């Protein structure tokens, strides 16, 4: 009985793996249940280990080849640097979180945070001092190393330079004497010209030789040993932490919401006290005004939010939200229209020209069109009800406020919807129009009405194809979104990439490649989810055939 139970579990697990599209793990599960271990191990080697090794080889080649290609924005980052960028991005997010916590902390929490931050600050200050010392030592020892490789070349360069200089003056003198001789008719014209030519050739070759040497020197200077760089980097990082905690402490002591509010309330109280003892009308008016305005400001301070900087996490979240909205619009339009097209040939004929003409239009064009058309609905976005409700309404949860919906996001979502529309529409129409005729005959014999025919027969029968279309749509939408965000500067991964490209710091290139991986991995999971849904609604695994 227990044997049967474990078998059931095994096949359940295998089915789950199959449905979720991770069939690669099939032999692993079978191996765990000791089913033909030899075959499973072979399968694992063939279909899991080899691909892993291949990927590792690719990464290895990237690691070697990448840094050799020098570009205007630095060398191509190696995988290690991209990983470093990912870590930095995570730390950046944490820091923003800490700052926000510092901003909103109240009462005892604030004091505890302050103490904690001060402790961390001293910790990092010590660490920074230590690391800077280390870095200086590394620089010193590194300098020796540099000097060791630099000095012989430098010496050679200096001696050569001196030698050539004297040679040049000598030649110059020789020429001038020759010229004098020519003037006195003691030498021929040809002799003088030959000497002149000889001199210029010599000069050229000497210059070339010196240039090569100076280039070598420059190279050595530009590429200090790795230790120096690393020690410096570590010291800089620690110094960054110090800066961060200083900022946190600053926020906790002066920028904190509660502190500000209390200060304002205190001012109001003072003004009130002054008001009670005011003697002149003008004075009383002034104090009364101060009471009101300070109280008002204090009330507003309570609602203030910390202006968080955009992290890649938030950008990803916003991108996902945008693509979800766009995809939802696409589905809501494409599926009903697709069903109508599939049901009725006249509708299909009417829509065919529209589909054929608009489907190939580039997302960039759509984005611009939507910016103009949709933009007209939001002449003053800050005061528009849509954005006010989305970003401020108390009825909506914080994660929606967090999106900071703006017109650019809506253009991007519309562009996604427009581009994701077509595959879903065409596939739905195809799915509906290619239903098994037998099913329709059954519907006729059972005398089903239009609606029950639609919902009981037509839609279920066409679902596999509809979902195949939706899967393509989501893939297209995700791809289009990144471009749309970059172009419309709607916050999201696309804008992140664009900003990094524009700002050109030493780490931007690594950040761009990081974003590339984030986009790819998310795209992969979105696709997997759609495959899963598609498999869940499919029923063609050996069913209808008798």
Note the residues at the interface with another protein (CB under 8 A): 436, 438-439, 441-442, 444-449, 452, 456-457, 460-461, 539-546
Closest among 450, 458, 468, 469 to 433, alpha carbons compared? 458
State the DSSP string of 104-169: H--HHHHHHHHHHHHHHHHHHHHHHHHHHHHHHHHHHHHHHHHHHHHHHHHHHHHHHHHHHHHHHH
Taking the C-alpha atoms of residue 374 and residue 474, their distance in angstroms, rounded to an integer, is: 22
Q: Please, which residue, 11 or 59, has the CB nearer to another protein?
A: 11
Taking the C-alpha atoms of residue 329 and residue 4, their distance in angstroms, rounded to an integer, is: 47
Q: How far is the CB of 463 from another protein (least distance, A)?
A: 8
Which residue stretches of 277-384 are H helix? 281-303, 312-343, 345-358, 363-375
Which residues lie closer than 8 Å to 442 by C-beta, 6 or more apart?
457
The length of the chain, given as a count of residues: 546
Q: Please, which residue, 414 or 435, has the CB nearer to another protein?
A: 435
Q: Please, which residue, 66 or 460, has the CB nearer to another protein?
A: 460
Q: CA-CA-CA-CA torsion for 196, 200, 202, 204, nearest 10 degrees?
A: 180
Residues paired with residue 71 on neighbouring β-strands, in sequence order: 74
SS3 state of residue 71 = strand
Q: How far is the CB of 464 from another protein (least distance, A)?
A: 10
Q: How far is the CB of 457 from another protein (least distance, A)?
A: 7
- Residue 281 burial by Cβ neighbours in a 10 Å radius (0-12, 13-18, 19+): exposed
Q: Please, which residue, 342 or 494, has the CB nearer to another protein?
A: 342
Q: Please, which residue, 282 or 546, has the CB nearer to another protein?
A: 546
Structural tokens at position 296? 């008002």
Structural tokens at position 269? 């109280």
Q: Which residue in the block uniquely carries the two structure tokens 């010590």? A: 126
C-alpha triplet 533, 493, 233: angle, nearest 5°: 125
Q: How far is the CB of 16 from another protein (least distance, A)?
A: 18
Q: Please, which residue, 524 or 539, has the CB nearer to another protein?
A: 539
Q: Please, which residue, 274 or 454, has the CB nearer to another protein?
A: 454
Structural tokens at position 14? 């295998």
Q: Please, which residue, 355 or 459, has the CB nearer to another protein?
A: 459
Q: Which helix (H) or strand (E) holds 75?
A: strand 74-75
Each as own residue / partner, the long-range contacts of residues 371-377 (CB below 8 Å, 24 or more positions apart, any chain) are: 371/411, 371/488, 374/407, 374/410, 374/411, 374/414, 375/407, 375/411
Q: How far is the CB of 465 from another protein (least distance, A)?
A: 14
Q: How far is the CB of 546 from another protein (least distance, A)?
A: 4
Q: How far is the CB of 478 from another protein (least distance, A)?
A: 29
Q: How far is the CB of 459 from another protein (least distance, A)?
A: 10
Q: How far is the CB of 470 from another protein (least distance, A)?
A: 18
Taking the C-alpha atoms of residue 102 and residue 112, their distance in angstroms, rounded to an integer, is: 10
Q: Please, which residue, 397 or 542, has the CB nearer to another protein?
A: 542
Q: How far is the CB of 436 from another protein (least distance, A)?
A: 8
Q: How far is the CB of 328 from another protein (least distance, A)?
A: 24
Structural tokens at position 349? 């004929």
- Number of Cβ within 10 Å of residue 155's Cβ equals 10
Q: Please, which residue, 265 or 440, has the CB nearer to another protein?
A: 440
The widest CA-to-CA distance across the chain, in whole angstroms, is 127
Structural tokens at position 8? 């059931």
Taking the C-alpha atoms of residue 144 and residue 213, their distance in angstroms, rounded to an integer, is: 20
Q: Please, which residue, 300 or 444, has the CB nearer to another protein?
A: 444
Q: Please, which residue, 277 or 445, has the CB nearer to another protein?
A: 445
Q: Please, which residue, 5 or 542, has the CB nearer to another protein?
A: 542
Q: How far is the CB of 389 from another protein (least distance, A)?
A: 40
Q: How far is the CB of 369 from another protein (least distance, A)?
A: 40
- Residue 535 burial by Cβ neighbours in a 10 Å radius (0-12, 13-18, 19+): middle
């Amino acid at each position: 009985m227990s044997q049967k139970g474990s078998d059931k579990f095994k096949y359940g697990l295998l089915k789950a793996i199959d449905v979720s599209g991770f069939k690669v793990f099939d032999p692993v599960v079978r191996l765990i249940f000791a089913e033909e271990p030899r075959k499973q191990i072979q399968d694992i080697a063939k279909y899991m280990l080899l691909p892993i090794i291949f990927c590792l080889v690719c990464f290895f080649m990237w690691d070697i080849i990448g840094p050799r290609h020098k570009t205007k924005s630095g060398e191509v980052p190696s995988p290690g640097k991209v990983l470093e960028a990912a870590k930095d991005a995570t730390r950046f997010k944490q820091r923003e979180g800490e700052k926000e916590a510092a901003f909103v902390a109240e009462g005892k929490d604030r004091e505890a945070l302050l103490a904690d931050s001060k402790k961390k600050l001293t910790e990092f200050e010590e660490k920074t001092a230590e690391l800077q010392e280390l870095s200086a030592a590394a620089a010193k020892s590194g300098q020796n190393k540099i000097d060791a490789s630099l000095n012989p070349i430098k010496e050679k360069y200096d001696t050569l330079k001196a030698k050539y200089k004297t040679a040049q003056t000598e030649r110059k003198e020789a020429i001038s004497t020759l010229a004098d001789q020519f003037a006195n008719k003691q030498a021929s014209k040809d002799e003088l010209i030959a000497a002149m030519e000889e001199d210029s050739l010599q000069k050229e070759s000497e210059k070339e030789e010196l240039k090569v040497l100076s280039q070598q020197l420059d190279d050595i200077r530009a590429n200090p040993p790795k230790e120096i760089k690393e020690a410096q980097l570590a010291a800089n990082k620690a110094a960054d932490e110090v800066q961060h905690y200083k900022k946190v402490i600053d926020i906790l002591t002066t920028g904190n919401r509660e502190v500000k509010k209390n200060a304002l309330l205190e001012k109001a109280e003072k003004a009130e006290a002054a008001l009670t003892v005011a003697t002149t009308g003008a004075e009383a008016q002034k104090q009364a005004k101060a009471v009101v305005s300070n109280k008002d400001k204090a009330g507003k301070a309570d609602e203030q939010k910390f202006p968080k900087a955009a992290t890649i996490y938030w950008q990803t979240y916003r991108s996902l939200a945008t693509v979800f909205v766009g995809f939802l619009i696409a589905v809501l339009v494409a599926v009903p229209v697709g069903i109508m097209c599939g049901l009725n040939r006249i509708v299909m004929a009417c829509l065919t020209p529209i589909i054929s003409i608009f489907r190939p239009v580039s997302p960039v064009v759509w984005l611009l069109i939507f910016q103009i058309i949709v933009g007209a609905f939001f002449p003053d976005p800050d005061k528009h009800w849509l954005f006010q409700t989305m970003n401020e309404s108390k009825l909506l949860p914080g994660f929606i406020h967090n999106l900071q919906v703006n017109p650019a996001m809506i253009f991007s979502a519309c562009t996604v919807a427009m581009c994701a529309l077509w595959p879903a529409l065409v596939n739905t129409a195809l799915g509906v129009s290619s239903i098994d005729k037998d099913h329709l005959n059954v519907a006729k014999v059972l005398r089903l009405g239009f609606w029950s025919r639609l919902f009981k027969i037509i839609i279920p029968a066409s679902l596999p194809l509809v979902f195949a279309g939706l899967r393509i749509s989501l893939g297209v939408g995700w791809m289009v979104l990144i471009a749309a965000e970059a172009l419309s500067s709607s916050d999201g991964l696309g804008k992140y990439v664009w900003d990094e490209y524009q700002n050109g710091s030493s780490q931007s290139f690594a950040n761009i490649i990081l974003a590339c991986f984030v986009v790819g991995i998310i795209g992969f999971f979105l696709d997997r989810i759609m495959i899963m849904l598609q498999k869940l609604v499919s029923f063609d695994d050996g069913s209808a055939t008798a």
